[in-house]
Structure 1
Amino acid sequence: MSLQVRQLSVRYPGAARPAVHEVSLTLAEGDIGVLIGPSGCGKTTLLRAIAGLEAPSGGSVWLNQRELSSADGAPHGRVGMVFQDYALFPHLSVADNVGFGLHGRPAAQRSERVSECLQRVGLSDLARRMPHELSGGQQQRVALARALAPAPELLLLDEPFSNLDVELRERLAHEVRDILKAAGATALFVTHDQNEAFAVGDAIGVMQEGHLHQWDDAFSLYHRPATRFVADFIGHGVFLPARIVRQGDGVVVQTPVGPLQDPRNCPLPEAYPDGACQLLLRADDIVHDDQSPVQARIVRRAFRGAEFLCTLELASGAQVLALIPSHHDHAVGDCIGIRADVEHVVTFAAE
């Protein structure tokens, strides 16, 4: 295993709670990890503690089975970092920026490595340009090439796309993943953008108030969230009251949008008092069905191209979300038939 974080904590003097509290995670060599969570959740502090830029109050960081000592808050030599603002040197050319961390190497070797890294990020023809002559996306790739040039054992990236527009961020996220995979780099990102995290990460960690709730692949975070916070934070969904009851040899989940007959991976009724629970219903769990007896009124809709993301209100006043193909051009205020089609039943204790 390349990176192991063991019970890592960071506490600032006078703070009511730790900024990072006993976080443990493992990132395999050559894999890309991503930390996401709301602002102030501790993800950047965790990244900086791994880098050695913040002194931990407990726990340890191991890289390729060697412990990184960061008690003094000193940066680790085997770790490269890409900052949010790229931190390019404005008075140095693209090539000189990329080669900045290669001082001490023979000139020919340094030049060869700079050319190799610029080729990897697709900027070979811009080697003599100055940073102010580049677009935001190009500057980001220069910063990435500079971080990769010394061949660090671990690359850390702190919201590297946050200064770019939404369309460029998504495209660049895929490009950066391809670059890192081609370089065989082990990397850990911080981002607040879920689409970015899903595009880049082999493993994704969801943080809240210094705690790591779940460290998993994107599919598991979405379909098998470990906590209610993860279920609520990832994707679009709502929680509705439900009841799990036995029916013959199987179970039925009674919901406000109709019963779920013998759903897969469903808890037994005994998991909750009287079977009462909260059921997570995501937008893709609700199907538009004109033949359904369950009717819902469209109270809000957002055009997404191929589909609308609609907020629907049931007769009880409860609301659900649904993805409705955009060729069904229903207006706000219209009533439509819906039914639940749930592949992955996710339940939590009733509040």
Structure 2
Amino acid sequence: MEEQGGGAKIVLAVLGVLLLLVITPIILFLGGGDSEEPDPYAPCVIEGTPIGKGNDGESTVKIPEQYREAVEKSADTAGLPVGIIAAQIQQESGWNPKAVSPVGARGIAQFMPGTWEEWGNGKDPFDPFAGLDAQGRYMKYLGDTIADLASNEKEKIQFTLAAYNAGAGNVQKYGGIPPFEETRHYVEIIMGNAQMDYSSTCEAPGGFDFGDLTADEWAHPMPNSRLTSPFGPRACPLASCAGMPFLLKHEGIDLAGSDPYFYAPTDMKITYASIGNIDKLYGSYGNYIFAQMTEAPYLVFEFHEAQDNSLLVKTGDVVKKGTPLGKPGATGNSSGIHVHFQINNPKTSVFDRPAINNGKTYDPVPILRQQKVNIQ
């Protein structure tokens, strides 16, 4: 009897294994239907928080499901990233197909009547699908018109947006984005929203002209800070900028906040650390640091206006991401305690001695956001 009982147990065990082999694939198959592919056009997420915001400042934005296919087709026709078309529609109408502007622009893409007459194919301007179709064809036309002016993909996107806002003739006249405040703001807001609202990877549309930058998590140059002065044209930050016109174009960003230190955003070599108030650039830069990434694309960083006697690194040091470099201060051409953070093209920068950089600089915000650093 004991031998027979043992045989029965073996048979039951074999049946149990067979049943498990049959049922498991079924369970996996049924459960697989609940999983969803990540949405590549979802808002950028940094440190677990979606950065994109809706018009109400609270809800995250997204491409309305009923328009997703039409937006993708429009972007494909235009030869532009989906995020650019989506951000443009968000800016123009907030996805409202019945929108009418104070100047008479109509529909989801806000075509003026004359332009719609040419590009609307005789359809209803309030038909959102006709509007998205026309948007793709019109943006393709504008992109082709200004293509010869652009030296890279990012510029082509920017110039196409500028042509949409100010006319292709003005882009051609000025050889790029016209010096109109409305147009500059329009391009900036679309590029920023495409990266923040419609790119789950936080990638900047068009990339960067300095080469590939591997998406990674950099350290914040100054945690718990706020952006007090952005990159680009600005009002004079001092009582007077007489004799100092260079102060009217900000080559970096200023960060101010409660953190006592500023930090290396990534692994880098200190190529020059200033030597206090005897340094020849102290009157302009205060206490400052030049550094270069230790890996491609070897971007050059500058940190200015550090507190006196606060620099924690010296020329030649190689530091890791997140290393404290010094304390924010109000030295040099400064109107308050902060750190100036700047990113330069390594091919055009002088960064191994006291020298004012006359090379190409980049807006740090899109770069930092792509590297999962939240700048607000």
The two structures have a TM-score, normalised by structure 1, of 0.31
Structure with higher Rg: it is 2
Tell me which protein shows more strand as a share of its residues.
Answer: 1
The two structures have a TM-score, normalised by structure 2, of 0.30
Which structure carries more relative contact order (alpha carbon 8 Å, separation 6+)?
1
